[in-house]
Amino acid sequence: MISRRKLLASAAATAVLSRLNITKSFAAQPKPQVPLIISTWNNRGANEAGWAILNKKGRALDAVEAAARVPEADPKDTSVGYGGLPDRDGHVTLDACIMDEKGRAGSVTFMENIMHAISVARAVMEKTPHVMLAGEGAYQFALANGFKKENLLTENAKKAWEDWKKESKYKPVINIERHDTIGVLAIDAKNDLSGACTTSGLAFKMRGRVGDSPILGAGLYIDNEIGGACATGLGETVMRAVSSFLVVELMRQGKTPQQACEEAIRRLVKKTPEYKDLQVGILAVNRAGEHGAYSIHKGFNYTLSLGNETKVHEADHFIK
C-alpha cells in the first residue's frame, strides 16, 4: 500500500511539474500518433518550427532541420551555434549531423564561424559524395555553398570563458542538471523519419575535441523501417557505447522505445565506472509514433509535439 507521506510527496511533485507545464513521461504516455516531433531538453521554439512544417504535410527532414536551426541562432543557448561556449582556447567549434528516411546522412565537425551547422550537414548529405566534413574543409565547403562567415562568440560566452580561464580546470565540468544540445527526431504524415543533432559540444573542451553529436550511431541514428534515436550529455561515453544505433537495434529486436532507451543507458552505465559524475539522456521513437526517454540522472527533459500540442516531459532516470 502507498503510504500517506509518499502519496502527498508525489501529489506535491505533480503539482510542481504541472505548474511548470512539465509532465512525467513515465506516467501514461500519450497515445502514439503521427506526425510527431520530439527533441532533447526544453526546446519548445525548435519543436514549434518543426511542427509548422509537419502540420502542412511537410517532410520530416525539413522539420528536423528547421527545429535545429532555432537554438543554433539563439545567443542565449550556450551549447549550440551562436552563443555556444568556446573551447579552452576561445574558439566556438560546432558539431552536427542529419539523417533522412532513405538512410542518407551528412555531418560536420570541428567547424568554426558558420551559424547553421545543421544546414551545412544537410548540404554535405545532398551535395557531396561524402558523409562527414571536418574543420577548415567543412568551413570552406560552407562558404562555397552560400553560408556566411559569422563570429559565433557572444560577449556573454567570452565572459564565461574568461572566468573559466582564472582556474582553467582541465577537466570539463558536466552540469548534470541541464544542457541544451539539441537532438531532434520527427515522423511525418507519410510515416517517414528523420533526425538531426547539433551542438557546440562541451564548454572549454580541448581544441579539436569532437563529441558524439556529429557521429552517426552515437549522437543520432535513423532507420526508417524501425525508428530513430538521439543522445545528449557527455559525448565520450555515448561514443564508446554507440548508444543511438544500439537503441534502434534494440527496437528492431522488439523492445519498445522506452525499453530500448533504458537498456542502452544500463549498458552505458556498465561500461562507465564514473557514471555518477556525468549525465547522458537518450530519446527514441518507433514508426508507430511511440516514444521513449531515459537518462542517468534526474533532470533530463524533452519536448514532444503531436496533435498540435507541444509539452515538455520529465524523463525517467537510472539513479533514483
How many whole angstroms separate alpha carbon 151 and alpha carbon 139? 13
Residue 294 dihedral angles phi and psi, to the nearest 5°: -160, 150
Marked catalytic residue, from 23, 93, 109, 181 = 181
Q: Which is nearer to ligand SD4, 181 or 286 (CB)?
A: 181
Using DSSP, state whether 177 is helix, strand or coil: coil
Cell numbers at 257, concatenated: 522505445
For the stretch 264-267, contacts whose Cβ atoms lie closer than 8 Å and that sit 24 or more positions apart, written own/partner, are 264/229, 264/294, 265/294, 265/295, 265/296, 265/318, 266/318, 267/241
Shortest approach of ligand SD4 to residue 92 CB, angstroms? 13
Shortest approach of ligand SD4 to residue 105 CB, angstroms? 17
Which residues neighbour 310 within 8 Å (Cβ) at sequence distance 6 or greater? 44, 47, 48, 51, 303, 304
Given a contact cutoff of 8 angstroms between Cβ atoms, the answer to whether 283 and 185 are in contact is: yes
Given a contact cutoff of 8 angstroms between Cβ atoms, the answer to whether 275 and 296 are in contact is: yes
Shortest approach of ligand SD4 to residue 173 CB, angstroms? 12
How many whole angstroms separate alpha carbon 84 and alpha carbon 80? 5
Q: Which is nearer to ligand SD4, 106 or 172 (CB)?
A: 172
Q: Which is nearer to ligand SD4, 215 or 251 (CB)?
A: 215
Which H or E run includes 131? Answer: none
- If one asks whether residue 93 binds ligand SD4 (CB under 6 A), the answer comes out as no
Size of the site for ligand SD4 (CB under 6 A): 14
Shortest approach of ligand SD4 to residue 40 CB, angstroms? 7
Q: Which positions from 199 through 258 interact with ligand SD4, judged by CB under 6 A?
A: 199, 201-202, 211-213, 232-235
Q: Which positions from 68 through 87 interact with ligand SD4, judged by CB under 6 A?
A: 79
The question of whether 181 is a catalytic residue gets the answer: yes
User: In angstroms, what CA-CA distances link 22 with 44, 109, 255?
Assistant: 12, 33, 26
Strand order in the sheet with 280-286: 220-223, 227-233, 280-286, 291-295, 316-317
Q: Which positions from 12 through 51 interact with ligand SD4, judged by CB under 6 A?
A: none
Q: Which is nearer to ligand SD4, 198 or 224 (CB)?
A: 198
Shortest approach of ligand SD4 to residue 219 CB, angstroms? 6
The site map against ligand SD4 for 168-197 (x = CB under 6 A) is: -----------xxx----------------
Shortest approach of ligand SD4 to residue 58 CB, angstroms? 27
Q: Which is nearer to ligand SD4, 113 or 213 (CB)?
A: 213
Task: Count other C-beta atoms under 10 Å from residue 41's C-beta.
Answer: 24
- If one asks whether residue 119 binds ligand SD4 (CB under 6 A), the answer comes out as no
Q: Using CB under 6 A as the criterion, which residues of the chain lie in contact with ligand SD4 when the complex forms?
A: 79, 179-181, 199, 201-202, 211-213, 232-235
Q: Where in the sequence numbering do the catalytic residues fall?
A: 181
